[in-house]
Amino acid sequence: MNWSARTRAVNSGRQDGEGDPANVPITPTSHLGLGYAREDGTDTWRAFEDAVGDLEGGYATSFASGMGAISAVFDLLPAGAEVVVPTDSYAGMRHLLGHAETSGRLSARRLDPRDTDAWLTAASEADLLWLESPTNPSLFEMPIAEIATAAAAADDPPLVAVDNTFATPLGQQPLSLGADIVMHSATKLIGGHSDLLLGVTVTSSDRLAEQLREARMRGGATPGALEAWLALRGMRTLPVRYAAVSATAADLVARLREHPSIVDVRYPSIGGGVISFELADAATADAFCAALRLIRHATSLGGAESTLERRAARPSDAHVPAGALRFSVGLEDPDDLWADITQALKQAR
């Protein structure tokens, strides 16, 4: 049977033998006679990996955090390799690459995610194209299939990796668009409850997955047993949560676009739970954040609770408009969220 993603999210990664536990237990240790957890993994990691791999359509490897997963991908590259990244993208990834560049291990090229021509040119020159779509925090969308096709046509094809944290496998499956590696911060929407740190890669080939498992074994960015278990539990409800936050976000985007105090509203064409909207200036945006009563002013995103942050307040995202707010829509009633937004806008004026 061809089960839908919603059905597979609930049922993949389970054991179905008579006497098997209905849900994977938290296994914090190696199995006797079967090696060492950091090298060989545990049942809990594998159940989570099977479920993510099923949804993304590839071979999954879990890590201690999203950054642990990104480090493992960079670790696949030889010294001096060139990595191309979007200028608007997750700040931690840019920091990691900047450090590798300063220390002389990797070379970096930073391109505007909207400049598709520049990416198509880079596809025949670089060793790794690191895409993020939609980007964090500005929600720019990159043409993954077009860039992956150009990469595949190069004499010496670069690896194409996509940070799919914002889209989740419900929004898009980059492996089916030609990418080699998908990466998630499962800390965000996959875990879905702001109560864990976890990362995962999913690859089109088992060979790449094996290399990433070796990088994990060497570097030691292994997932915690509880975190892998919680992330799998979160993933069971990812499709219904993703549908719910997408519906609420679309509703709020329509209302925000009508509001006279809002300068600009950005929302990805593929949907999802993150909105970006802009107020007149930094002072107005800060006053708005301080006046919110329901929506929390916090940096993480993808949880059950709505959170919002003025990213330009952080030195790493100084390129973002000063009054822009990244809004992670939660599972609350959309009317309550709107009531909170309008009362805070009134106070911030």
- How many residues of this chain bind ligand PLP (CB under 6 A)? 14
- Of 61 and 65, nearer to ligand PLP (C-beta) is 65
90 binds ligand PLP (CB under 6 A): yes
221 binds ligand PLP (CB under 6 A): no
- Of 199 and 340, nearer to ligand PLP (C-beta) is 199
Separation of alpha carbons 205 and 334, rounded Å = 41
* Cis geometry, peptide bond prior to residue 137 (ω within 30 degrees of 0): yes
Per CB under 6 A, the list member of 73, 144, 161, 197 interacting with ligand PLP is 197
Instruction: State in angstroms the smallest separation of the CB of 343 from ligand PLP.
Output: 29
Stretch that binds ligand PLP, among 50-58, 90-98, 273-281, 307-315 (CB under 6 A): 90-98
Separation of alpha carbons 329 and 273, rounded Å = 5
Instruction: State in angstroms the smallest separation of the CB of 69 from ligand PLP.
Output: 8
Separation of alpha carbons 249 and 171, rounded Å = 14
66 binds ligand PLP (CB under 6 A): yes
Separation of alpha carbons 126 and 215, rounded Å = 21
Instruction: Give the nearest residue (CB) to ligand PLP.
Output: 66
Residues in contact with ligand PLP, shown as a per-residue x/- string from 91 to 130 under the rule CB under 6 A: -xx-------------------------------------
Angle between helices 282-291 and 334-348 (to 10 degrees): 130
| Segment holding 128, helix H or strand E | strand 128-132
Separation of alpha carbons 252 and 243, rounded Å = 14
Rg of the Cα atoms in the chain:
20
Separation of alpha carbons 289 and 308, rounded Å = 8
163 binds ligand PLP (CB under 6 A): yes
Residue 175 corresponds to which tokens in the numbers above?
């492996």
- Of 9 and 131, nearer to ligand PLP (C-beta) is 131
- Of 13 and 134, nearer to ligand PLP (C-beta) is 134
Cβ pair 218, 203 in contact under 8 A: no
Per CB under 6 A, the list member of 44, 71, 185, 328 interacting with ligand PLP is 185
- Of 232 and 348, nearer to ligand PLP (C-beta) is 232
Separation of alpha carbons 181 and 164, rounded Å = 10
Virtual torsion, Cα 157, 159, 165, 170, nearest 10 deg: 50
- Of 308 and 348, nearer to ligand PLP (C-beta) is 308
Task: Enumerate binding residues for ligand PLP (CB under 6 A).
Answer: 65-67, 90, 92-93, 136, 163, 165, 185, 187-188, 197, 199
